[in-house]
Every structure is written in structure tokens, then in C-alpha cells.
Amino acid sequence: MSKDLHLETKIAQALGWIDESTRAVIPAIHPATTFVRDHDGSNQDPFVYSRNDNPNYGQVEQTLSALEGGQDAMVLSAGMAAAVLPFMTLQAGDHVVIQDVLYWGVRGWVTKHCARFGIDLDFFPAQDPSQIAGLLRPGKTKMVWIESPANPSWEVVDITAVASIAHDAGARLVVDSTAATPILTQPIALGADLVMHAATKYLNGHSDVLAGALITADASSDWWQEMRANRAAMGLVLGPQECWLLLRGMRTLALRVRQSSANAQALAEHFSGHPQLHAVLYPGLPQHPGHAIARRQMQNGFGGMLSIRLHGGFEAAAKTARRTKIFKEATSFGGVESLIEHRAPIEGPETKVPADLIRLSVGIEHIDDLITDLDAALTSV
């Protein structure tokens, strides 16, 4: 499929792929774990064993590469598998700079395990990435990790600026772009070396697949080849059925993300200034600290995620999350259904999330119903 076509066309058509053996427009599922070798012991590379590769991996990976403007992609067994894999290439004595506001699973993992592996770690405030420069150690800092927008307070980090700072010190930039998706932001075009997605979320979009993805700007690098080898060695592959479902979900990504973003924008505007709230956290609001950056590096909207903070503190947040009818009280985000979650008790005593914060994953329902549902829950509290 021509590279000049719009992103929406590429993704809806999954790059225009057709099964040459059957002329089907939808791929078959290949559940095989092993593949027959020739009599001389050779094989039809890369298909030897599904821990290395499988026909179902290729189409979803090529589609992801095209969407992100990368040279290659990997699908993995979970978002956390995708997050951990780049750290598995580091050596004792290496240094990583990472933002302080990010998905709690990643923060918890790096805080616990980097020290065990002898990897030095420094956090910088997400709202002030200019502090990165003072933390970098040329020759030692191997990776800078950012997430934008950052879960769950949705800070927006200037990817181009951070990429320049990181590259000047010889470090690679990894961007967790799960909340933005390639529909809203393409970090590689802004200077990132690697893009990570919890594909469970928006890429799949139907809350029925656990998956992760990595997309590289340089497929020839030793770093990327090591990650590919580690995926196979550690068995972090995604099953063929899950690959098939992920690709099916991705075909409607542009429609879903745009509708979720439009709904989230309308919710943020409606509840901004609500008497029960002292903050609405959403990059699409002009008063958001990262709004100017978001306008510059995001297209087609500002995402389907927002958070609200309640005057009544922990108890008011807990009650509000329990009293919605359409918003379902559940973990995760990025599905077609709207979800609500009081984050602090979910993350536990080590959380940095304010006790009064509720996270909203805004789905594709009618906006009037979502507004009425949330307003009724807030009013009842």
C-alpha cells in the first residue's frame, strides 16, 4: 500500500494485505507452534517455532510500523512485557532517567528491579523536563523514558525537546504513547528512538486482548536486535489468536480514538468549574499546564483519558466512583465502554496519586448519557 495514503486508510485496510493463497481480505489464524524443516535441516525462515515467529505476528507488526513511522515492530504478551524488554538490554552501571508521573506498574517495576540489576535510576518531574539535562550522565545514561500524556494526571511532555536533550548525551529516548496512540501522536517523527504501547488499551480497544507493542526508529541497531532475541528467549510472544484479535481491533482505531477524544473534551469542558470539583485534568483544556505542547504534538484530539479531583477528598472520590451507572468501576482503559476508577486505593500505600483523584476512560457512548451519569454521581455525593 502506498506510503502516501492517509493513516486512516492504512489502518482500516491493514495496509491492504490480501492472503495470496485464498484471496481473503482477513488473515487466517495460524495456531501452529512448530513448522516442518527441509530434509537438510533448513527451514523457511523465520518460521521455525512460534516462540521466535509466527505468520500472525507479521501483519500486525507491519501495520504498527506504518502507523508509527517506524522501521520495525514487535508484539508482546502484555504491556508490561513491552515496558520491561528495553530494560533487559541494560548492564550493571548503566543509568536511566525516567519521569516521576507514569503508569504505576512501570514505576513499581523499575523502582524495585533496577537496583537489583545494578542500574542507576533518576526521576524527573513530568511538568518540568528541563531538569533532565542536569540528571544525564554522558556515557552512562543509556535511556530516557517518558510517557505522554502521563497516567493518571495527564501531564504532556515535549517529546522533541526531550529527544534533543537525550541524544546530546548519547542516550536513547523511549516514549510510552499508550494514551495518545498513533492517531494523536507519532513520537518517532518527533525524535523518539522507541515507542511503547500497552496494546491491551486503545490499539485493541475491546477489553478482550492482553498485549504489548514496541516500534523502533532503527531496525538495524544492535539494541533492537537484542530486544528481538530476548523476546524469543523469554517467551514474551503474543498468541496467534490474540494477534488476530488485536489486528481486528486496530482496524477501527481511528474512529474509536476520535470519538473517545471528542467525548472526553466535551466532558472536560462541561465539568470544568463544577462545584464538587477543584480540578479537571485534561490536556484539551486551555488552562491545562501542557495544553500548548499538546496542541503542537497531538493531532485529531487530546485523547480519551481525563481525571477529576473532588473537594470531598478520599471519601467523596470513593462514593462517586461507586455511584455511576454507565461508567463501570473497573481497571484498564481504551475500550469502547467508559470506565471509572478511584486510583489511590488501587495503587496502594506507595502511590503518588492524590487521594481525591478519579480517573475516567471515556468510551464511545452518547455524550449526553455520559454527562448525565457523572453529574448524577457527583450530585449524590
C-alpha 129/C-alpha 101 separation (Å) is 12
Is pLDDT above 80 for 8? yes
The string over 207-238, giving b where at least 16 C-beta atoms fall within 10 Å of a residue's C-beta and e elsewhere, is bebbbbbbbbbeeebebbeebbeebeeeebbb
pLDDT (0 to 100) of residue 44: 64
Give tens-digit pLDDT for 27-60: 899 999 988 888 777 766 678 888 888 889 999 9
Structure-model confidence comparison of residues 143 and 46, the more confident one:
143
Contact 283, 298 (CB under 8 A): yes
Question: Cα(159)–Cα(166) distance, rounded to whole angstroms?
Answer: 10
Does residue 1 have a pLDDT over 90?
A: no
pLDDT digit string (tens) for 144-183? 999 999 999 999 999 999 999 999 999 999 999 999 999 9
What pLDDT does residue 304 have? 98
Mean pLDDT of the chain: 95
Q: For residue 213, report the phi and psi dihedrals to the nearest 5 degrees.
A: -150, 145
Q: Over 90: is that where the pLDDT of 237 sits?
A: yes
Q: Please list the active-site residues.
A: 51, 103, 176, 201
Lowest mean pLDDT among 21-25, 301-305, 306-310: 21-25
Ranges 9-13, 71-75, 211-215: which has the least confidence: 9-13
The confidence score (pLDDT) of residue 47 equals 85
Could you tell me what percent of the chain has a pLDDT over 70?
99
Phi, psi of 143 (to 5 degrees): -150, 140
How do residues 254-286 score in pLDDT, each as one tens digit?
Answer: 999 999 999 999 999 999 999 999 999 999 999
Q: Give the pLDDT confidence score for residue 42 in this predicted structure.
A: 72
Domains located in the chain, CATH noted? 7-250 (3.40.640.10), 254-380 (3.90.1150.10)
* % of the chain surpassing 90 pLDDT: 88
**pTM for this prediction:** 0.95
Residue pointed to by grid coordinates 508509527: 68
Q: Which stretch of 43-52, 73-82, 140-149, 341-350 has the lowest confidence by average pLDDT?
A: 43-52
Distance of CA 360 to the CA centre of its chain: 16
Q: Mind listing the pLDDT tens digit for each residue in 85-131? A: 999 999 999 999 999 999 999 999 999 999 999 999 999 998 888 89
* Whether pLDDT at 315 is above 70: yes
CA gap 37, 24 in Å, rounded: 27
Contact 284, 291 (CB under 8 A): yes
Average pLDDT over residues 364-369: 98
